[in-house]
Amino acid sequence: MAAGGSFFSTRRAWGAAPPIKVGLIMSFSGVVAAWGAAGRMGAFMAADEINQAGGVLGRPLEFKLEDDTSTNAAIAVQKARKLVFDWGADFLIGFNSSGTALAVVPILPELKRILIVPCAASPRITTEVWNKYCFRNHVHSNQKGAAGAAIAATLPYTKWTVIGPDYAYGHDSWGAFATHLVQKKPSVQIMSTQAWPKFAAGAYDSYITRILDAKPEAVYSPLWGDDFVTFVKQANRHDFFKKVGAFFTPAGLAMDAFYALRKEVPKGIYTCAHGYWFEHPDTARNKKWVEAFVSKWGELPHVTAHETYSAVYYLKAAIEKAGTTDTEAVIIALEGLEQDSPSYRKVIRKEDHQVITDVPWGKTQDAPGLIPIESRVGDIVLAKGEEVAEPLDQVLKRRKEGGTPPWMQYIIKS
């Protein structure tokens, strides 16, 4: 289904029941197009299941897709208004990029529509710019940073630096990780030599050599999508991963990168695959969902597919709990709502509408029998959601004070 099209997953007779309209805004083109495609797969899979089972309150789910053209904030705002005012969307699900999400969240009171964010990970979405219409069913960078730092603090490395995209997500991801790492291991030195290429830069050799010349012991990288794939290909030419003691990437090694890199995936580097790896947890529920996904789409599930699938089921549960699609009633129903997703249990915290859920971090390994990707994330350590959640008093304080997050002190450009 091309972006901009409408979607009915089944052709059963719905009588006079009007559809519940859901607008899905993601990046269906550009360097993170694979992430938008994964979101479409997850949303359509959930909608198909729900519609085949009778819909929501006897009404079918109907989707319309819009492309934010790979993180263009102005276009994302335009597409959100178009979905609500022209098409009549009852609810919105989106975005892949924090840059687009941060642009759209402030106009939600004008739209008077709920937005569920299943991918974009800047903590500011549910803190500094938050309003009551915004919900996120995906872990953000502070939660992932806390979980990653707990592992990093046990390693014998003290000199850390970063190569990340030069916008909110990159800054927040590194800043949150560095904050937690320094708290857990005060001897850590945050290096002043850092690399901040533009999003979709395409060429990283100069950044790679600059980082290597500074001789860090460990590197953190929030690069993602095709940016990370291109970085790895160029970094391998410099033996980058053999020259640093540890390498952490929260989102670089989501499933799209495993398909793109296959045997070129560096082994022994740390990742949380943006919050979900299909082999974890090793439960019958997760295995059944993965099997159904592979049967439907012919490929292994990406974290964004998992999270967008979860977002659709969150809407279903809240609408049924409220007994209506009225925005204000569904907001109340979503607050505190629990969900057993295919992977981990999720709870949307009432005060900031941020999901609390577990975060897996593991290391890349050879997997010659795992066709076609031939690599995997193994030795997974699961951080409990309650342990890595940002304390509510800090969230409310940051929301009240506004401005920039405290971890911006670790963003150094020279």
User: Do residues 304 and 35 lie in contact, with contact meaning Cβ atoms separated by under 8 Å?
Assistant: yes
| CA nearest neighbour of 98 among 170, 179, 197 | 170
* Nearest of 107, 179, 168, 95 to residue 138 by alpha carbon: 95
- Lookup: tokens for 41: 């797969």
3 state SS of 150: helix
pTM of the model: 0.95
Per-residue confidence band for 16, with pLDDT thresholds at 50, 70 and 90: confident
Residue 356, token pair as written in the block:
């609390």
| Chain centroid, CA 81 distance in Å | 23
Indicate the SS3 state at residue 412. Answer: coil
The identity of residue 19, as a single letter, is P
pLDDT digits (tens, 9 = 90+) for 93-137: 999 999 999 999 999 999 999 999 999 999 999 999 999 999 999
**Which H or E element spans position 91?**
strand 91-94
72 versus 91: the higher-pLDDT residue is 91
For position 12, what pLDDT does the model report? 59
Verify cis geometry, omega within 30 degrees of 0, for the bond prior to 281: yes
Q: What is the rounded CA–CA span in Å between residue 63 and residue 47?
A: 8
Q: Check residue 403 and give its pLDDT.
A: 83
Q: What is the pLDDT of residues 223-264, one digit of tens each?
A: 999 999 999 999 999 999 999 999 999 999 999 999 999 999
pLDDT of 70 reads: 67
| Lowest-confidence segment of 68-72, 133-137, 158-162, 192-196 by average pLDDT | 68-72
Tens-digit pLDDT profile for residues 283-334:
999 999 999 999 999 999 999 999 999 999 999 999 999 999 999 999 999 9
pLDDT at 185 over 50: yes
User: Average pLDDT over the chain, rounded to whole?
Assistant: 95
198 in the Ramachandran plot: left (φ > 0), alpha (ψ -120 to 50) or beta?
A: beta
